[in-house]
Structure 1
């Protein structure tokens, strides 16, 4: 990402990019189908524009105590970025798998809001909306790239799901930050899927894609916020971090 400020130093829980395992990679968002400009009339989906946010960090860690928002930690990407003078807006997706946490940090792409009015409409309304509104808009596409057939069958086809409909989501919002923490243990169905995924995760390569649902003409076409390719994570190997006093 552009903008002023120096390079953000990694933390002990920052995951290395482009390794054969325990890693992550970037994904081309234009390979995913989103609602097109006339979706309300013709139900036609089109390839997304390039992601509105850049993936800047993926981290994985475990905690003994509760960690509701990763961005509140002193070693979070948010804290480290601000310490070196980076001020870009961050969108943080945090999966609380208890005791494991998987965190994806996305940085707003300089001109995404200025050059794409309809995305800007959709995103601004999302920020202005309450938690219930946010739950009705935030979508996740899970696309399995490589896994055994049991996992493929469990996860199924890559269809967009409104994540807040299925799982409890909590939001932390500041002028320069939105973190969505998704409590994966809050639903029995998700817990069952998680059971399969946790044990098989070491052999899974999958893409997670975030976007907002466009429901009005001035919010279409949809555009991917950001996406991450997770590469063979052994969740048991995540570093244990001390719970910080809040």
Structure 2
């Protein structure tokens, strides 16, 4: 859904499996802490407006594809231009919402009725998940009714200071726009969608589309306005015309642009499987006052806007 994409080098053989069985939650990163009493992330995943389904057989839902299916910049990328499988995600999946409204939905994590923020609030009331940080990508789809596909990810422990993701979270608009990347992988779909979207294609979303960054003390949300690019909007609506036949993997990451930032790692990834437009949950648009300090976290620290809707994409 990026107006300009570049197909990276030939991908490695994709490993079969890696997504868990029917009804299983996404795999945990090695060494992930187990929380007693109340699993807020499970609550968030199971309560999503788009249901969690089996990675291989599920339809009209989402799953978490293994990072090895995505080829990213490897440790020798700048000298040999080599890519390698990403491996495990840096963040843990925390659910997906497929929403519709009469107007564009901004800052969904700042809404008092946001269910993911609410699950984390409940955990904190029990003395759990005090170090958790949420990262959300809100793909905003224009139309007669506005839709949003919101992908939630969580860090259970503090983000390591000095890491690339830490710099992204605490950086300014220019840094974020130059680094925020999506990698698409068409799993199933008509040839016209594969040709338009591009398989294994990477795009710097902050350069191609208008992105709005909403930074709370405990979260970062990126609202991506697909309608800000006529090309991206046309590609998206082409895909939506046969959406029930399309399964797509999307991986989100911060692009490495220096040797010491390699190898690239996925922040998180999601597979959207043959989704039905009619399955979107209707949400009332809230007054702007609800966005400032009354949301699921401890207030909105700052709101950043990227007004450049240039469709230029840097090499992946």
- TM-score, structure 1 as length reference: 0.90
TM-fit CA distance, 1:235: 1.9
Q: Distance in 1 between matches of 2:87 and 2:163?
A: 16
What residue number does 2:122 align with? 83
Q: What is the match of residue 152 of structure 1? A: 194
**Alpha-carbon distance in structure 2 between the residues aligned to 1:107 and 1:3:** 14
Cα distance change of structure 1 residues 13 and 49 upon mapping to structure 2, 3 Å threshold: closer
The CA distance in 2 between the partners of 1:104 and 1:25, in whole Å, is 11
Quote the residue 2:105 is aligned against. Answer: 67
Match of 2:205 in 1: 163
Which of residues 102, 109, 132 in structure 1 aligns to 2:149?
Answer: 102
Asked whether 1:7 is paired with 2:39, we answer yes
> For 1:139, what is the secondary structure of its paired residue?
strand
- Native 8 Å contact 2:49 2:281 kept in 1: no
CA gap of 1:173–1:12, structure 2 versus 1, over 3 A, is same
Calculate the aligned-residue CA RMSD, in Å: 2.1
Q: Does 1:35 align with 2:73?
A: yes
Question: Which segments of structure 1 move beyond 4 Å, counting only runs of 4 or more?
Answer: 10-13
Higher helix fraction: Structure 1 or Structure 2?
1
Specify the SS of the correspondent of 2:176: helix
Q: In structure 1, which of residues 44, 47, 67 is the aligned counterpart of residue 82 of structure 2?
A: 44
Say whether residues 1:17 and 2:52 are aligned partners. Answer: yes
Q: What does the per-residue CA deviation read over 1:112-167, in whole Å, with 9 as the maximum and x for residues that have no partner?
A: x55xx9xx621122122211210110110111000011111111121211011111
CA deviations on 1:225-246 (whole Å, 9 max, x unpaired) are 1100101111233121112222
Structure 2 CA distance for partners of 1:12 and 1:244, relative to 1, 3 Å? farther
| Equivalent position SS for 1:91 | strand
Task: Specify the alignment match of 2:174 in structure 1.
Answer: 132
Match for residue 243 of structure 2 among 198, 201, 204: 201
Which secondary structure does the structure 1 equivalent of 2:221 belong to?
strand
Instruction: Kindly tell me the number of residue pairs found equivalent between the two proteins.
Output: 241
The answer (yes or no) to whether the contact 2:73–2:84 under 8 Å persists in 1 is yes
Q: Do 1:57 and 1:106's aligned partners in 2 also have CA atoms closer than 8 Å?
A: yes
Q: Cα distance 1:218–1:73, how it changes in 2: closer, same or farther (>3 A)?
A: same
Counterparts of 1:45 and 1:21 in 2: how far apart (Å)?
31
Alpha-carbon offset, residue 38 of structure 1: 2.4
Q: 1:173 to 1:153 in 2, by over 3 A?
A: same
By how many angstroms is 1:192 displaced? 0.5
Offset at residue 201 of structure 1 (A): 1.0
Is 224-233 or 34-43 further displaced after alignment? 34-43
The alignment's TM-score, normalised by the length of structure 2, stands at 0.71
Does the Cα contact within 8 Å between 2:64 and 2:270 map onto a contact in 1? yes
